[in-house]
Amino acid sequence: MQNIEDTRKDLLARIEASDSPRDLLKGPELKQLFDVIKTLAPEERGAYGKQVNELRIALESAISDRESGVEDKAVEPIDVTAPWDVNASNIGLLPTQQGTQHPLTLELENVINIFTRMGFDAIESRQIDDDDHMFGTLNFPENHPARDGYDTFRTEEGFIPPAHTSTMQHRILKAGKAQLEAGGQIAAVSYGRVFRNEDVDATHEHTFYQCEGVFVSRDATLGQMLGTLRDFFETYYGQKLKIKTQPAYFPFVEPGLEFAIERPAALGGKDGEWLEMLGCGMIHPNVLQAADIDPAKYRGFAWGGGIERLVMLKYGIEDLRHFESGKLQFLRKFL
Ligand code: PHE
Tell me the sheet residues that pair with 247. 257
Distances from the Cα of 98 to the Cα of 105, 195, 332, angstroms: 16, 31, 10
Confidence of residue 63 (pLDDT cuts 50, 70, 90): confident
pLDDT at position 113: 98
Q: Do 64 and 144 sit in the same domain of this protein?
A: no
Q: Which residue out of 133, 140, 166 has the highest number of ligand 1 atoms within 8 Å of its CB and is therefore the one to mutate? A: 166
pLDDT at position 124: 98
Orientation of helix 4-17 relative to helix 42-68, angle to 10°: 10
Atom number, ligand 1, closest to the C-alpha of residue 306: 4
Q: Whose alpha carbon is nearest atom 4 of ligand 1?
A: 164
Whether 149 is covered by a domain: the verdict is: yes
Whether 87 is covered by a domain: the verdict is: no
Q: Do 62 and 210 sit in the same domain of this protein?
A: no
Cis preceding-peptide flag for 145 (omega within 30 of 0):
no
Whether 33 is covered by a domain: the verdict is: yes
Q: Do 177 and 33 sit in the same domain of this protein?
A: no
Cβ atoms of 52 and 46 closer than 8 Å: no
Model confidence pLDDT, tens digit, residues 262-288: 998 888 888 789 999 999 999 999 999
Is pLDDT at 1 greater than 90 in this prediction? no
Whether 319 is covered by a domain: the verdict is: yes
* 261 or 27: which leads in pLDDT: 261
Whether 247 is covered by a domain: the verdict is: yes
Model confidence pLDDT, tens digit, residues 148-175: 999 999 999 999 999 999 999 999 999 9
pLDDT at position 131: 97
Half-sphere exposure of 258 (CA within 13 A, CB side): 10
Is pLDDT at 244 greater than 80 in this prediction? yes
Q: How far is the CA of 304 from the centre of ligand 1 (A)?
A: 4
Q: Whose alpha carbon is nearest atom 8 of ligand 1?
A: 279
Q: How far is the CA of 91 from the centre of ligand 1 (A)?
A: 44
Is pLDDT at 2 greater than 80 in this prediction? no
Q: Do 7 and 155 sit in the same domain of this protein?
A: no
Whether 290 is covered by a domain: the verdict is: yes
| Boundary-marking domain end, from 74, 93, 122 | 74
Is pLDDT at 301 greater than 90 in this prediction? yes
pLDDT, averaged across the chain: 90
Question: Which residues form the domain of 18?
Answer: 2-74
Q: Which whole number is the average pLDDT over 298-315?
A: 96
Q: How far is the CA of 323 from the centre of ligand 1 (A)?
A: 22
Model confidence pLDDT, tens digit, residues 199-232: 999 999 999 999 999 999 999 999 999 999 999 9
Q: Which residues sit with their C-beta closer than 6 Å to ligand 1? A: 164, 166, 212, 250, 253, 256, 279-281, 302-304
Q: Which whole number is the average pLDDT over 122-148?
A: 96
Whether 241 is covered by a domain: the verdict is: yes
| Boundary-marking domain end, from 36, 55, 74 | 74
Confidence of residue 56 (pLDDT cuts 50, 70, 90): confident
Q: Do 297 and 170 sit in the same domain of this protein?
A: yes
Q: Do 279 and 318 sit in the same domain of this protein?
A: yes
Q: Do 117 and 35 sit in the same domain of this protein?
A: no
Q: Do 197 and 245 sit in the same domain of this protein?
A: yes
Instruction: Give the global pTM.
Output: 0.73
**CATH number of the domain bearing residue 292:** 3.30.930.10
Q: Do 232 and 164 sit in the same domain of this protein?
A: yes
Q: Do 160 and 35 sit in the same domain of this protein?
A: no
Q: Which residue out of 139, 168, 250 has the highest number of ligand 1 atoms within 8 Å of its CB and is therefore the one to mutate? A: 250
pLDDT at position 212: 98
Model confidence pLDDT, tens digit, residues 66-82: 777 655 556 667 666 76
Q: How far is the CA of 274 from the centre of ligand 1 (A)?
A: 19
Question: What is the SS3 assignment for the chain?
Answer: CCCHHHHHHHHHHHHHHCCCHHHHHHCHHHHHHHHHHCCCCHHHHHHHHHHHHHHHHHHHHHHHHHHHCCCCCCCCCCCCCCCCCHHHCCCCCCCHHHCCCCHHHHHHHHHHHHHHHHCCEEEECCCCECHHHHCHHHCCCCCCHHHHHHCCCCCCCCCECCCCHHHHHHHHHHHHHHHHHCCCCEEEEEEEEEECCCCCECCECCEEEEEEEEEEECCCCHHHHHHHHHHHHHHHHCCCCCEEEEECCCCCEEEEEEEEEECCHHHCCCCCCEEEEEEEEEECHHHHHHCCCCCCCCEEEEEEEEHHHHHHHHHCCCCCCHHHHCCHHHHHHHC
Q: Do 7 and 116 sit in the same domain of this protein?
A: no
Q: How far is the CA of 138 from the centre of ligand 1 (A)?
A: 10
Whether 94 is covered by a domain: the verdict is: no
Q: Do 46 and 121 sit in the same domain of this protein?
A: no
pLDDT at position 98: 61
Atom number, ligand 1, closest to the C-alpha of residue 169: 9
CB count in 10 Å sphere of residue 135: 24
Domain count, the chain: 2
